[in-house]
Amino acid sequence: MLFFSASVCAVPVFAQPLDKIDNTSRCVVCGMFVAKYPNWVTKIRDSAGHIQLFDGVKDLMAYYFDPGSFGADSKLTVEEIWVKDYYTLAWLDGRKAFYVVGSDVYGPMGEEFVPFQNKSSAESFLKDHHGSKLLSFPDITNEMIDSMRSHHKM
């Protein structure tokens, strides 16, 4: 007789980033069609398993800091954050990425947080594209987001 035993781990299961995005999918924050700008698409998976799409890190972070302003249930939490490395377009854990702001590279909605998998790539981009700051995820504040969304210089 063969017995099978399974155990459950408390390791988070990350959603697979979407390879194809429906042409009708819109950014939860600004309403822009995200499929038009596939290199800038970002996403969040919440504690209910819902996937929210955004046209860039800036709008993703606006939602992250105040999801209730965009219709989310206040009881839900953000479980996963996915962004794309600017150079490789590989999906990254947004909490582990490095970001450059104030560069001469703009996203679909203007000034943007440009994400990178490693610090050395972000430093090269910062120099090559005249960026003003290199940030890690915890460095990003709601005030920065508000400033960028208001088209004010940080």
Q: Which residues pair with 100 in a beta bridge?
A: 114, 134
Query: CB–CB of 145/66 below 8 Å?
Result: no
Quick one: what percent of the chain has pLDDT higher than 90? 76
| pLDDT at residue 93, as a whole number | 97
Question: Structure pTM?
Answer: 0.86
Q: Is the pLDDT of residue 14 over 90?
A: no
Q: Which long-range contacts (CB under 8 A, 24 or more apart) does 29-35 make?
A: 29/54, 29/59, 29/60, 29/62, 29/63, 29/70, 30/55, 30/59, 30/109, 32/108, 32/109
| pLDDT at residue 111, as a whole number | 95
